Each structure stands twice: as structure tokens, then as C-alpha cells.
Amino acid sequence: MKALATALLLAAGWLSAQASAATVHGTIQQRSVRDVRPAPNLLLTLRSAANVRSARVYTDRAGEFWFYNVPRGRYVLEIWRSGMDGNNARTLETCLLDVGGDIALPALRLNNSALNPRAELKSCREGLEHLYGS
């Protein structure tokens, strides 16, 4: 009887953890002078408030990405310019993401303009346009 009760508690805990984990889905586009195209093969991570990074994900051919089993909380979505390894590692763009359930972000557009070094960190739902200088 004790074993059954323990098994039920473990199963309830696992189901609760699964219910609180979310999926984050979005699309990255590259804006050029002439048009807007999908941005394939970009490296993305989520950085938690505790400064812990998620597993790496890459955009597919259509510029889409998915993060699975993301715990509730506040994250910074990081789009990497040249990878995370080596001396040239740096992020291209960042935006805030509050995860409380599954999220479908609007298309995030990368711009060819220079980045604004004083741009404040805003919600990913506001896009990335605030990051660029004019």
C-alpha cells in the first residue's frame, strides 16, 4: 500500500511538472533593403533570471524555432551572431520573455542597421526594432 501511495505521489509530481512546462515557438526573419526572408540556422538560447542557459536550438529553413519543456519564469531570448564558443562569441539580439504557458511569438525581424548600444531590453512580443539605430 505504501509503495502504491509513493508511486501515485511521484506520478502526480511528474504530471504537475509537465503541466507547468511550456513550449516557446517563434520565427526569425532577416530584413534587407529589398525584402524580408526567413533566417535559417541561427543559434538561440534562453537565459534564466539565475543566469542559466537553456539547451541550444537552431532556426529551421523557414526561420522557425521551438523550445520545449521551458519552466515558468522570466527569460532573455538570445540570438547569437557567431556561436557561443570562442573569443568572438556574442549575441546579436536579445529580448525579454515571460513564460507562464505556451507562447507563440510574432515574427522577430533582424535588421541590417547598426545596433543601438543603449537600447533597453524589451519584451519579445514588441519585436526587435527597438534595438536598431537609425
The pLDDT, as a whole number, for residue 117 is 73
In a domain, residue 2? The reply is no
**Lowest model confidence (mean pLDDT) among 65-69, 89-93, 127-131:** 89-93
Do 97 and 24 meet the contact criterion of CB atoms below 8 Å apart?
Answer: yes
The domain that holds 107 is classified in CATH as 2.60.40.10
Instruction: Evaluate whether residue 8 is within a structural domain.
Output: no
Question: How do residues 33-73 score in pLDDT, each as one tens digit?
Answer: 788 999 999 999 999 999 999 999 999 999 999 999 999 99
- Domains in the chain, number: 1
28 phi, psi to nearest 5 deg: -110, 130
Q: Which domain holds residue 52?
A: 22-131
pLDDT at 87 over 90: no
What pLDDT does residue 97 have? Answer: 94
pLDDT confidence band for 4 (50 / 70 / 90) = very low
Grid cell of 57 as nine digits: 536550438
Distance CA 54, CA 46 (A): 5
Q: How confident is the model at residue 85 (pLDDT cuts 50, 70, 90)?
A: low
Q: Is residue 102 part of a domain?
A: yes
Quickly count: other Cβ atoms within 10 Å of residue 23's Cβ.
Answer: 14
pLDDT at site 9: 44
